[in-house]
Structure 1
Amino acid sequence: MSTSHADAVTFSDLSRNPRAVAERAARLGRVRVTHRDAPDFYLTTADRAEHQAQTLATASRLFLALIKHDPTARTLVIAMPEVFPWVRHLTVDELRAFTLELVEALSDAAELEVDTTTQEVIAGWRATARIKADPARYAEARKATKGDFGPVEVSA
């Protein structure tokens, strides 16, 4: 969801006039609070946040029920390329594994409020698809290695 200038305020605005910012958040549903020296955050109403959590929980439970009744996750696997076009570079088994891992991560987000796992799952499988999409890099990645290559830098 994108945020326009109209639904953003500065941290200073919030400090100077909290009532007006709170009223604006209630009217708009949420307001992005920008901060020069820290990450931005959203000010929202509790009922809106609770509705979003309930929506995520419902979707997660639906996906888990589909997998329970179809262990191959056929229906979800068929839909995955529409949501993630890059899955065409994964094998059928990898696509099934990604689908199951994603549904489990969504369940954790909904039931345990562990939000980071879902994006980590997507990023990991996207990285797998990215390297498999380049035959030369994929061949290089599959070569046997020896020894210790030292510390690894991880980029976002």
Structure 2
Amino acid sequence: MTTLPAEANFSELINRPTATVHRMQGNARKGIRLHRRGEEDLYLTTAARAEEVVQVVDSTTRMFVALMKEDPHARDLLTRVFPSAFPWVRFLPQKSVQEFLVELVDTAKASTDLGLVAPIAQVITEWKHTAEIYADPALAAQLTGEDLGDDYGPAPLPLAVGE
């Protein structure tokens, strides 16, 4: 069961900071989602909690890297179990699933060295969009060039000014 973060309007933090921070600390996630009118929501947490998140991602990444270095079959095994964590990879070609795995681990390794997790989320989002394309056979064929239809070949170079 997932515990949802506490929620409040940003104005509550401004008007009642002590009470709002107390709600944040009383939540199991030790965070509070702050809604802002017309802007992206903020998530307020303690610095220690934010560091814990990066530490967990870093530790998990180090385990995957070590596993992939230790056992040559680990990449194949991880590729096979990836659909459990990311069900949408079923739409990707097998080679792309392996590429996603390697890119995810490499990005996680580099990102956690900087104390960041946003680049990891970006890689996941990009591969998910790729899976969405493969899930639509007509779109996949159109974008991969398998069905060029009325393709007239390369466009001619534009004429130079004055020609």
Deviation per residue, 1:29-85 (Å, 9 max, x gap):
111111114321122122222222211111111111122223561221121111222
Aligned residues: percent identity?
Answer: 34
Distance 1:146 1:120, change over 3 A: farther
More helix by share: 1
Q: CA RMSD in A?
A: 2.5
3-state DSSP class of the match of 1:31?
strand
Distance 1:106 1:21, change over 3 A: same
TM-score by length of 1: 0.77
After the TM superposition, which residues 32-71 of structure 1 pair with which residues of structure 2 at under 5 Å, given as runs?
32-71=33-72
Tell me whether 1:21 sits opposite 2:2 in the alignment: no
* One of 129, 132, 135 as aligned partner of 1:130: 132
Deviates more, 1:102-111 or 1:53-62: 102-111
TM-score with structure 2 setting the length? 0.74
The answer for the alignment partner of 2:159 in structure 1 is none
Number of residue pairs aligned between Structure 1 and Structure 2: 146
Task: Write out the 4+ residue segments of structure 1 that deviate beyond 6 Å after TM superposition.
Answer: none
Query: Unmatched 5+ residue regions in structure 2?
Result: 157-163
Per the alignment, residue 77 of structure 2 pairs with 75
Alpha-carbon displacement from aligned partner over 1:126-148 (angstroms, at most 9, x marks no partner): 33333333333333221365339
Q: Which runs of 5+ in 1 are unaligned?
A: 149-156
**Residue 95 (structure 1) shift:** 1.5
